[in-house]
Structure 1
Amino acid sequence: MAGLLTQIDRTLVRLFEAGPDGGRRRRERLARFGACTAVSLTGVALFLPNLTPYLASGQPAVGLGLGALGVVVCLGLIVAGALLYRSGFSTPNAVRIAVWNFLGLVVLGGVILGHGAYRGALGTVTTADALAAGNVLAISAAAHVIIGVHDARRVRAEQLAREREKFAVLSRVLRHNLRNDATVLIGQSERLVDELDGSLAETADALHQRSRTVGGLAEKTKTMVEALDRRSTPNARLNVHDVATDAVDEVREVVADEADVDITVDVPTNLWIWADDRIETALAELVENAVEHGGSDIRVTATTHDGTVDVRVEDDGPGIPDDERAILSGDTEITQLKHGSGLGLWVARSVAEAANGELTFDTDGERTVVRLAHDRAESPVEAAGDPSPAAAT
């Protein structure tokens, strides 16, 4: 049975998933429209039998109530078709839901038609029979739509699990290779810097810096993967001032030679948030990103409103390019030509979203503002001899 379901899944994906060519995309759109329309038409078709109590005189109240129930279910099917078209379900899964809806009609519809033929042969078909058929078919169709939605989610969950496994393996291999190769490059470039003079020494120094950047990609990728793979790990109650200070100190060590960079922290000492404990890394990435993109006056501040704490990194640099901002916000798809300039902002976004936070960008006059928003936490009652952050419940 499992093998049959897997084969059906592959067939649906092969037939109706969007492809790169125009014909494939048109077929995918038509299939989606047809599947969603079929769900809505089910409700339209079942209106009449559910209205029969209102079309005949002298019907009891219970019949009118059952008719009203059937009408409501039919309206729900019509709306469900429209919502399915605009939902995040892929076209193969939308078709899957429509097929479940069709099965709900066929299975019970065949039985009801047989009973109708039998009652007709006896000459006793009544309004109640039509209402019963309309009620049962409408409720069956609605129930099978719900079954289809759960089935589509099951299939999607299995697909995500397989993709996550492949991504984890690929990530480990890439991180391992990046780290090892970068270590070799760093060591060799350091030797070149010590042994060469003039322009060759400058070239070797540039190679050394690039090697360190490549090595840093492995750690940034690891942080992103850990954030994306975060399960039900509870958030921690963290002191914003401590997190911001440690993040800035970390960046200051990296940019110690850049005397024209001024980084200040203006955060209340008794302000707490619920967040992933990797937020320090995320905040350091934001500050370092501001330095790398020309910021000379960088400020880390925090404000609170409506139970939310906004940790802001402001700088006077040229700002985040519009195309990179569009990629990070999801307004533009990642392509070979459009993919962003680095992983720092992606690390910050991944860490924030893993803890139900939010990363946003804005321009405040001539300053660029990146905002990390997290739920505010009450100040903890310090346990004697236990200064560690308390875990959220």
Structure 2
Amino acid sequence: MTGVLARIDRALVRLFGPGPTAEGRRRERLARLGSCAVVGLTGVALFVPNLAPFLVGSQPIVGAGLAVLGTLVCLGLVAAGVLLYRSDFSTPNAVRIATWNFLGLVVLGTVLLAHGVYRGALGTVTPADALAAGNVLAISAAAHVIIGVHDARRVRAEQLAREREKFAVLSRVLRHNLRNDATVLIGQSRQLAAELDDPSLAETAETLSRRSREVGGLADKTKAMVEALDRRSSPNARLNVHDVATDAVDDVSAADGAEVAVDVPRDLWIWADDSIERALAELVENAVEHGGSEVHVSADTADDGAVRIDVADDGPGVPADERVVISGEEEITQLKHGSGLGLWVARSVAEAAGGDLCFDTDGERTVVRLVHDRAAVPAAVEMADDDAAAPAQSSTV
């Protein structure tokens, strides 16, 4: 059975996927429109039998109630067709939902038609029979649309699981090879730099060593992104923003010898996980490496109650074409993909914890911002410190 379903899935994708050509994209649009029209027109067609009691004069209150119920279900089918067209379901999955809807009509419709023929032969067909058929068909069609939605989600979940498995394998192989090759390059380049007498060649060897370390760092950044994806379903914890910011800045400052100003209230807490420190460290490292002479980490609470953690510098800032890709405003292409993984790591970690990464400017400085839900101050902290509204603590690391 699983093999049959897999073949059906592949056939739907092959027939109704967008494809690389203009003809394929046109066929995909028509298939999507047709699928959504099938669902919507099902509701339109079933209006008549569900309104049958009102077409033949007064009816018992029960009949009127059933007619209203059937009419509402029909309106729901029409709305479902419109919503399906505007949904994020792929066209093959929209076809799948419409097919389930059609099967529900065909199976029950055939049986009810046979009953109608039988009762007509007996001369006992009444408006109540039409209402019953309309009710049953409308409810069946709606139920099969729901079944189709769940089936489409099942298929999507299986596709994501396969893609995730491939990504995990690729990531492990890539990280392993990058780390090993970078280690070899670093060792060889350092040996060259130590043995070469020519200053220009020694400088070239040192540049090679530095670049090799950067390549080796890509393995760690890739690992952080994969771990963030694996952590999406894990619960968040309550973290102190001041402690997270101080630890993140300490890590970067120790490695780069940079001075970063930290201005974060001690009583500010967020819902996130421990990886938020890695995300913030990536932002600070990026600002130190590409920013100007001043880097400033601050945090405050927005009007909607969310906590904003800002990393600002007075350098040239993140290029506009890179910002729109990382923020999700534009898709990744061969020309637009970003110059490094640091900002991608920060975004992946933030989103895994239910947060967000965005860009802003406060006039002269570029600001990269992490946004997370605010958490209440833990009871133990409140008991230890009667002054719950402690002033902001400023420091320079």
Both structures adopt the same fold (TM-score exceeding 0.5): yes
Deviation at 1:295, TM superposition (A): 2.6
Equivalent residue letter for 1:289: N
Say whether residues 1:52 and 2:52 are aligned partners.
Answer: yes
Say whether residues 1:233 and 2:234 are aligned partners.
Answer: yes
Partner secondary structure for residue 338 of structure 2: coil
Partner secondary structure for residue 265 of structure 2: coil
2:360 matched residue in structure 1 = 362
Give the alignment's TM-score, normalised by structure 2: 0.92
Unaligned runs of 5+ residues in structure 2 are 382-397
Alignment of 1:328-367 (within 5 A): 328-367=326-365
Partner secondary structure for residue 35 of structure 1: helix
- Following the alignment from structure 1 to structure 2, what is the Cα–Cα distance between the partners of residues 320 and 84? 38
Matched-pair contact (CA < 8 Å) for 2:232–2:353:
no
- Following the alignment from structure 2 to structure 1, what is the Cα–Cα distance between the partners of residues 254 and 178? 23
Matched-pair contact (CA < 8 Å) for 1:328–1:346:
yes
Partner secondary structure for residue 267 of structure 1: strand
Matched-pair contact (CA < 8 Å) for 1:175–1:218:
yes
Q: 175-184 vs 323-332, which deviates more? A: 323-332
Deviation at 1:233, TM superposition (A): 2.0
- Following the alignment from structure 1 to structure 2, what is the Cα–Cα distance between the partners of residues 231 and 327? 21
Equivalent residue letter for 1:240: V
- Following the alignment from structure 2 to structure 1, what is the Cα–Cα distance between the partners of residues 300 and 115? 69
State how many pairs are aligned.
Answer: 379
Equivalent residue letter for 1:247: A
Partner secondary structure for residue 232 of structure 1: coil
- Following the alignment from structure 1 to structure 2, what is the Cα–Cα distance between the partners of residues 15 and 314? 50
Equivalent residue letter for 1:263: V
Deviation at 1:242, TM superposition (A): 1.2
Aligned counterpart in structure 2 of residue 296 of structure 1, from 282, 293, 314? 293
Equivalent residue letter for 2:309: V
Say whether residues 1:207 and 2:211 are aligned partners.
Answer: no
Say whether residues 1:6 and 2:3 are aligned partners.
Answer: no
- Following the alignment from structure 1 to structure 2, what is the Cα–Cα distance between the partners of residues 185 and 42? 66
- Following the alignment from structure 1 to structure 2, what is the Cα–Cα distance between the partners of residues 206 and 382? 51
Alignment of 1:120-199 (within 5 A): 120-196=120-196, 197-199=198-200
- Following the alignment from structure 1 to structure 2, what is the Cα–Cα distance between the partners of residues 103 and 41? 15
- Following the alignment from structure 2 to structure 1, what is the Cα–Cα distance between the partners of residues 321 and 37? 37
2:392 matched residue in structure 1 = none
Matched-pair contact (CA < 8 Å) for 1:362–1:370:
yes
- Following the alignment from structure 1 to structure 2, what is the Cα–Cα distance between the partners of residues 147 and 295? 57
Q: 216-225 vs 112-121, which deviates more? A: 112-121
Unaligned runs of 5+ residues in structure 1 are 384-393
- Following the alignment from structure 2 to structure 1, what is the Cα–Cα distance between the partners of residues 259 and 232? 38
Matched-pair contact (CA < 8 Å) for 1:301–1:313:
yes
Matched-pair contact (CA < 8 Å) for 1:270–1:379:
yes
- Following the alignment from structure 1 to structure 2, what is the Cα–Cα distance between the partners of residues 46 and 320? 57
Question: What do the CA deviations read for 1:190-222 (whole angstroms, capped 9, x no partner)?
Answer: 112222232112211111111011000000000
Partner secondary structure for residue 242 of structure 2: helix
Matched-pair contact (CA < 8 Å) for 1:293–1:317:
yes
Deviation at 1:122, TM superposition (A): 1.5
Alignment CA distance shift 1:56-1:295 (3 Å):
farther
Deviation at 1:253, TM superposition (A): 2.3
Matched-pair contact (CA < 8 Å) for 1:276–1:352:
no
Question: What do the CA deviations read for 1:333-381 (whole angstroms, capped 9, x no partner)?
Answer: 2122221111111100110111111111112212111111112222335
Alignment of 1:259-270 (within 5 A): 262-270=259-267
Identity of aligned residues (%): 76
- Following the alignment from structure 2 to structure 1, what is the Cα–Cα distance between the partners of residues 325 and 251? 27
Q: Which runs of at least 4 in structure 1 moved beyond 3 Å after TM superposition? A: none
Q: 312-321 vs 164-173, which deviates more? A: 312-321
Q: 13-22 vs 228-237, which deviates more? A: 228-237
Equivalent residue letter for 2:246: T
Equivalent residue letter for 1:233: S
Alignment of 1:14-53 (within 5 A): 14-53=14-53
State the Cα RMSD in Å: 1.4
Equivalent residue letter for 2:222: T
- Following the alignment from structure 1 to structure 2, what is the Cα–Cα distance between the partners of residues 86 and 300? 41
